[in-house]
Amino acid sequence: MINNKKIKKLLIANRGEIACKIIRCAKNLNIPTIAIYSNEDANSLHVQLADEAVNIPGSLISETYMNGSAIINICKKFKANAIHPGYGLLSENAEFVKIVEKNKLIFIGPNSTIIKNMGEKDKAKLIMEKAGIPVIPGYHGENQNKNFLQKKANEIGYPVLIKARSGGGGRGMRVAHNKENFFSALGEASSEAQTNFNDKNILIEKYISKARHIEVQIFSDQYGNVVHFFDRDCTLQRRQQKIIEEAPSPKLSGDVRKFLGNLAVNALKSIDYQGAGTIEFIADTADGLNKNKIYFMEMNTRIQVEHPVTEKITSTNLIEWQLHIANGLKLPKSQNEINLNGWSLEARLYAEDINKNFLPQSGHLRHLKFPKNYDHPNCIIDTGNKKGDFISPYYDPMIAKIISHGKNRKEAINHLRNCLFDIEVAGITTNLNLLKKLLKNNHFMEGDIYTKFVENNIEEFTDKDIEPQLKALASLIIFNNLTPLQQNYWYSWKPATYPINITIGQKLTSFFITKTSNKNFEVAFNHQDFYFSSVSFLNSTLTAKIKNKNFEVKFNVFKDKSTGNKNFTFFSKEITFDAVLKNSLTQISNEQSNYEDSIFAPMHGVIKINNLKVKNRVKKGDVLLKLEAMKMEYSLIAPRDGIIKEIFCKNGEQVTENSMLLNLQKVK
């Protein structure tokens, strides 16, 4: 059935960078836009960009961005006849799309039946098997009895991947390495699936330990035309979520590339599809990459986070293609008009602490500076954030996507690295250092990676001790902030050496600074001496020399009014790090005590308590509480055997980072 309805006004049922991009694309096509926003997002960039913006009261995703009835009512009230869901949230929610169809609105994507079939990964695998697409070995049936599922896992052979039947984005996924931890992994995956997708059902797959994640972007119109846009590689991941993506996929022969493209097109032709989609494959690379060990994993019936790398190598705008097709038009190009041009990479800048197992972070972006386009013409930055925004515990912690394009892979990597060097973020911990390290890693440079590469080599990527030269330069910056050099401090007091105590990486260090001449300084600490010449401060930047080597460190300083502490963030090319100059009047008693037998909240979030009461006996390793934040669940476990002495939180209560949740007492 041909749909001839046209988009008159578009509601964007999303937030952040993807909402901003959709709004810009709609404006290019002269389509008026409506943004929706939660209480948390009242001052967000997507709200400012849209022609109209409507608040859905609340903060939780379920009551705002996934509130289908409120979104439909806004469409009716403000005369929007089309909805673009972006990615995540309601983009693959078949029940919501049914309501959209019932209200005769245009949904930017396929119909509800297709979304339901492909969203239920078990059903999707059966459909693909019938279409002749190879699928990964596993169980994707209806029986959800936990003993039956464990029996199936035993038959498949450990390790196995337990994953949510619905949804995506790495939510509701756990690896069971053996029979003993199967039930705990099953419980966590099922609970997280229920939280995120309102569907606790799971499926089981053979876990491939050395896997590549390769996907193919596809498009189809209502006239039966189907094209692919070549492949992308999304292998570099943590916690089943992507960090760096690229297109095309490295070390893929022309034959395998053509094979995957044809598979994806045939898969789409086997179903009544319309719009953008992605066929995801997993390749077992234990014995090298060949097409006989590449399996269908799942299909995403929406635009992907990483779609810009495909846009770069094919010179297309996939969001505009979506709107074009939703307007009832044919595909803008045929397959032979879509050509592969160069290489593109995308790095996701997240608010997370890799030193704490990638724990998401929340807080204010008190400093956020992206480089100018003219400084990096081969890169673009997609973001929905600006300086002063609050990264909320309610939503995904992605701050921005940085996308590069080059004539070849090496050039694209260099462009991306150079752009990352010029990014400054302060006020919140991010993965910026990790991104820089990954892009110069030899295995990554050679394309010799697998999905667990980061986690299996985490010691190489965590922030270890900072180079002593950088610490010494940091002390000069802090000293200058205390006693600006232009005040000729030495002439008024003339001390031989100035002592200063600075906390870097939770460690207090004493520095001793001596001015040896006009622009020359000596910095001593930890039995090391550094002699800096040509020291100069300009526009929050320190430049200096050691012998003939030049150093440049940029910085941001923020005074915490509640403590009087001065918080410094330093930006060098290779690393960003923080230091604190503590208020000497702050009492130690005001700082958080370190209770051996207490559980503290590792971040902002919502507490889940299940049958936990005072006087309960617990064993070391027992899950005491669960913290829901950034659409993920985190288990807080008992540090030792004991008895619950006090509980300081309630089920469903929102808690802040470092707040005490409960106390244990020893078993007598």
Q: Which residues are catalytic?
A: 302
Hunting for tokens 């089920």 — which residue is that? 651
Nearest to 298 by CA among 238, 234, 251: 234
Instruction: With beta carbons less than 8 A apart as the criterion, state whether 84 and 22 touch.
Output: yes
Place of tokens 């918080």: 567
**Residue in the block written with tokens 């849209």:** 50
Question: Can you say how many angstroms the Cα of residue 489 is from the centroid of all Cα atoms in its chain?
Answer: 46
Residues 6+ away with beta carbon under 8 Å from 220: 226, 227, 268, 273, 274, 275, 277, 325, 331
Q: Which residues lie below 8 Å from residue 12, measured CB to CB, with a gap of 6+?
A: 19, 22, 23, 33, 34, 35, 36, 46, 50, 83, 84, 86
**CB-CB contact of 429 with 353 (8 Å):** yes
Helix axes 307-314, 318-326, angle to 10 degrees: 90
Q: How far apart are CA 427 and CA 425, in angstroms?
A: 7
Using CA atoms, how far apart are residues 107 and 103, in angstroms rounded to an integer? Answer: 11
- In order, the DSSP letters of 343-375 are EEEEEEEE-EEGGGTTEE--EE-SEEEPPPGGG
Distance CA 100, CA 77 (A): 15
Number of residues assigned to the chain: 668
What phi and psi values does residue 384 have, to the nearest 5 degrees? -115, 15
Q: What is the DSSP letter of 293?
A: G
Instruction: Give me the half-sphere count of Cα atoms (radius 13 Å) on the Cβ side of residue 517.
Output: 6
CA atoms within 13 A on the CB side of 113: 5
Angstrom distances, CA of residue 189 to CA of 176, 185, 192, 360, 634: 10, 6, 5, 18, 11
**Other beta carbons within 10 Å of 437:** 19
- Can you read off the two tokens belonging to residue 615? 């006087």
How far, in Å, CA of 74 to CA of 10, rounded? 11
Residue 625 token pair: 């509480």
Dist CA 483 CA 211 (whole Å):
55
Report the distance separating Cα 565 and Cα 447, nearest Å. Answer: 45
The CA distance from 122 to 141, in Å, is 6
**Phi and psi at residue 497, to the nearest 5°:** -140, 140
Residue 39 backbone phi and psi in degrees, to 5: -60, -35
**Identity at 356, one-letter amino acid code:** K
Mapped onto helix, strand or coil, the DSSP state of residue 545 is: strand
User: How many Cβ atoms from other residues are within 10 Å of residue 179's Cβ?
Assistant: 11
